[in-house]
Amino acid sequence: MTVKPTGNLEQDLGAASRLLEMGRPKEAEKLLVRLAKKAPKDPDVHNFLGLALKQQGNLGKARVHFQKALKLSPKSAGLMVNLALLLKAEGKFAKAEDLYRKALSLSPDLAIIYVNLGVVLADQRRYDEAVEVYEAGLSKSSNSPEMLVNLAEALSGMDETEKAEERYKEALELAPQHVKALVGYGTMLKNLKRFDEAESLFKRAVSLAPDSMEVRNNYGVMLQVAGRVGKAETHLAEAVRLSGGILQMHLNHASAIKETGRVDEALEIYENLLNSGKETPELISNYLFTLNYSDRLTAEQITEAHCRWGGRLGARKKTARHRPAAPAIAGENRGLRIGYVSHDFKRHSVANFIRPVLREHDRDSFEVFAYSTTRKPDEVTQSIADVTDRWFDAGGLSDAELAEKVVEDQIDILVDLGGHTGHNRLAVFANRAAPLQTTWIGYPNTTGVAEMDVRLVDALTDPEEASYDLGSEALVRLPGCFLCYEPTMTLPDVAEPPFRKNGHVTFGCFNNLAKMQPNVLRLWGELMGRVPDSRLLFKGKPFVDSSVQERILRLMGMGEKDRHRIEFRGYEQSQEGHLAVYNTVDIALDTFPYNGTTTTCEALIMGVPVIGLSGDRHAARVGLSLLSAAGVPELVADTPQDYLAIAAALSEDRDRLAAYRSELRGKLQTSPLMDAKGFVARYEETVKALFMERQAS
């Protein structure tokens, strides 16, 4: 339906405003285009036309009209705010900030300017400046719940959680039904792992705004983090329905499904999205990462998908860069500059393997740079920063900005530690930020990125004769194991073997639930039948969910009379508490075809033998490499039936179990797997040779 102009400009602008409020921007645009022909110098006409275009996602044309409006009325703070909002949506933070500050100088009592300026600063992680702006705004409008909520969010970003909580409470006292306050407060409590309190707030938010996509999505994410994945899936599915197809809602929904262990269903969502043309880097990486969990795809199929989709990250314009010969090669007095890029320089599995490397680098030969993109640094972050030569917090940089930073630092060798895991920076590598680029530690497959030169592996994870050596990188095999382990937490004492107190053997698996695909669970069910007096302990966030428990019991074939033999434990607040749970386990069971890595090392250092199964791809052979380096290759099976036989035989050999319990920690600590100095010397020799080859070619 087309609304025709009446000839009265004020009435016609009112009609356009109502159309925008009703969510009918196309009709508003048609009306406003006709008005612009009749009143081309009216700033309100151009302002409303900009709003109509922006509402349709046409930001470029919207900007033109906002700029025209401001040119016609250069001292209008309101017009400055509208243009600044659009500039922020385009990622032009500096220009948006300048406009907001000009608007403030014209209208220092207008609360909305303080709110929006603070948001621009907070989005750049300039939280301290955002706090100053919000507090200045509150001095003008002390009863603004919106300002209080934004101030609380900025304080939370600075880890000033006690102050943030006070502000959230103030906002809710002023406006008990303020949905944004409930969601923001609940999200902060989620991050503090105060899940019950967070859920209470989200329930209130849902009751007030049941049709809000944002509320459903944030509630679902909170539930997922808490391990309540069944309920999370319900709310995230509702967010998808309410969103009308917004990609991020689909990604969050698929992530929750994956965390219940239903990998094939998650893959179907990702594949449908890719086939519909939504080829964003986040979608591609989520899809490729999830492929590694599948037990129905061959290694070749997974590798081929990585090369096909991961290669899309390289389909971008690259900056031409002049690269002189590296000073180390040209005879100048400095070592090779090696830079490590990771989101996981924090309490994370990757930290257990990269910190000893960074510490033991030979400073005469290497200058060590670290580019940390983590948004939530912790005490482990600091311990990693302390063993680098140059530490850079790159979390607020775009991929292009980070690539330029690497070039500016004259990095010779750039190392990716994440592959297609969350918040990766593979686009930096696709933009050829360094002469030699390699991927290592954090991902069990090829990246598929053509500009990634090398993937570091070893002869056991990726034997020379492997049929799946089809990735985009050259495979370079480090001598011995491709990893060096060093725990980032204080180790609890190893307890007496649990079977002595319990009178039965307890198996255990603390791996990611997504690694426990149907074939794994069925084999474990068979093991429980073969060792009839045994127990099995699952530990991890999703295991508190009743729907997850029922699925596991069904796949294992555990009837009602045997359910007491399966124990489910959830999240442990401390890393030391997590490790202490191994004192209740006699034998750990590794997953396949995606083996554990950190979980295997943690079990061994707590005196718990790990039964592994060697497979046909890197992810399925990491266990073989780790257990061989630890000096216990006898625990690795070649077939599922051998896996059962090794586990069952060990469960019956109590003397051998007790020996593992008393000897494994010492054995591991003196093994090549924890020989940091020896490992780094071999690693450095390898990467030096690679760089020399690169320079010579």
In the predicted structure, residue 1 carries a pLDDT above the cut 60: no
Distance CA 519, CA 293 (A): 12
CA-closest candidate to residue 425, choices 474, 697, 434: 434
Class of residue 316 by CB neighbours under 10 A (exposed 0-12, middle 13-18, buried 19+): exposed
Distance CA 434, CA 265 (A): 38
Least confident of 15-19, 285-289, 485-489: 15-19
- Residue 636 is predicted with a pLDDT of 98
CA-closest candidate to residue 254, choices 263, 241, 243: 263
Distance CA 476, CA 457 (A): 6
Paired residues of 367 in beta bridges: 337
- Residue 325 is predicted with a pLDDT of 45
Distance CA 250, CA 240 (A): 6
Higher pLDDT, 36 or 183: 183
Q: What angle do CA 88, 90, 92 make, to 5 degrees?
A: 60
Q: pLDDT tens, 570-582?
A: 988 788 999 999 9
Retrieve residue 207's tokens.
């009751």
Based on its alpha-carbon atoms, the radius of gyration of the chain, rounded to whole angstroms, reads 28
**Cα 349–chain centre separation:** 13
Distance CA 527, CA 640 (A): 10
Retrieve residue 356's tokens.
């000893």
Position 328 confidence tier, pLDDT thresholds 50, 70, 90: very low
> Listing from the earlier edge strand, what are the strands of the sheet with 506-509?
566-569, 535-539, 506-509, 587-589, 610-613, 636-637
Q: What angle do CA 286, 341, 91 make, to 5 degrees?
A: 70
- Residue 322 is predicted with a pLDDT of 39
What residues have CB less than 8 Å from 602, skipping those under 6 apart? Answer: 487, 510, 578, 579, 582
Q: pLDDT tens, 588-616?
A: 999 999 999 999 999 999 999 999 999 99
Higher pLDDT, 15 or 663: 663
Neighbours of 196 (CB within 10 A): 8
The number of helices, as runs of H, and strands, as runs of E, in the chain is 32, 13
Mean pLDDT of 258-284: 94
- Residue 324 is predicted with a pLDDT of 44
Average pLDDT of every residue of the chain: 92
Strand 610-613, strand 535-539: pairing:
unpaired
In the predicted structure, residue 697 carries a pLDDT above the cut 90: no
Position 671 confidence tier, pLDDT thresholds 50, 70, 90: very high
pTM of this structure: 0.87
User: Given the structure tokens 């964003």, which residue do they identify?
Assistant: 280
Query: Phi and psi (nearest 5°) for 477?
Result: -95, 115
- Residue 469 is predicted with a pLDDT of 58
Contact assessment for residue 111 and residue 137, using Cβ atoms and an 8 Å cutoff: yes
- Residue 620 is predicted with a pLDDT of 97
In the predicted structure, residue 552 carries a pLDDT above the cut 50: yes
Distance CA 505, CA 509 (A): 14
In the predicted structure, residue 332 carries a pLDDT above the cut 90: no
Position 314 confidence tier, pLDDT thresholds 50, 70, 90: low
User: Given the structure tokens 């971008």, which residue do they identify?
Assistant: 316
Q: Which domains does the chain have, with CATH numbers?
A: 177-291 (1.25.40.10), 330-484+678-696 (3.40.50.11380), 498-674 (3.40.50.2000)
Contact assessment for residue 337 and residue 415, using Cβ atoms and an 8 Å cutoff: no
Distance CA 97, CA 61 (A): 21
Distance CA 560, CA 273 (A): 40
CA-closest candidate to residue 483, choices 598, 386, 368: 598
Mean pLDDT of 59-79: 91
Retrieve residue 213's tokens.
């996509």
Q: Let me know how long the chain is.
A: 697
Torsion of CA 687, 689, 695, 696, to 10 degrees: -160
Query: Phi and psi (nearest 5°) for 261?
Result: 100, -5
Percent of the chain topping pLDDT 90: 79
Distance CA 430, CA 160 (A): 37
Mean pLDDT of 507-520: 97
Distance CA 7, CA 34 (A): 11
- Residue 3 is predicted with a pLDDT of 67
- Residue 563 is predicted with a pLDDT of 93
Please state the three-class secondary structure of 348-410 as a single string.
CCCHHHHHHHHHHCCCCCEEEEEEECCCCCCHHHHHHHCCCCEEEECCCCCHHHHHHHHHHCC
Least confident of 91-100, 264-273, 598-607, 638-647: 91-100
Q: pLDDT tens, 621-663?
A: 999 999 999 999 999 999 999 999 999 999 999 999 999 999 9
- DSSP letters of 613-673? E--SSGGGTHHHHHHHHTT-GGGEESSHHHHHHHHHHHHH-HHHHHHHHHHHHHHHHTSGG
Position 278 confidence tier, pLDDT thresholds 50, 70, 90: confident
Distance CA 480, CA 554 (A): 41
CA-closest candidate to residue 551, choices 538, 561, 534: 538
Q: Extract long-range pairs of 385-390: CB within 8 Å, 24+ residues apart.
A: 385/345, 387/355, 387/358, 387/359, 388/358, 389/363
Q: Cis peptide leading into 593, omega within 30 of 0?
A: yes
CA distances from 568 to 124, 262, 510, 539, 647 (A): 41, 18, 10, 6, 20
Largest CA distance in the chain: 97
| DSSP H or E segment with residue 340 | strand 336-342
568 three-state secondary structure:
strand
127 three-state secondary structure:
helix
Position 375 confidence tier, pLDDT thresholds 50, 70, 90: confident
Distance CA 323, CA 327 (A): 11
- Residue 333 is predicted with a pLDDT of 62
Retrieve residue 224's tokens.
């997922």
- Residue 285 is predicted with a pLDDT of 96
Distance CA 593, CA 612 (A): 10
Contact assessment for residue 537 and residue 567, using Cβ atoms and an 8 Å cutoff: yes
What residues have CB less than 8 Å from 521, skipping those under 6 apart? Answer: 552, 555, 556
Query: Phi and psi (nearest 5°) for 537?
Result: -110, 120
Retrieve residue 410's tokens.
């004259």
In the predicted structure, residue 331 carries a pLDDT above the cut 80: no
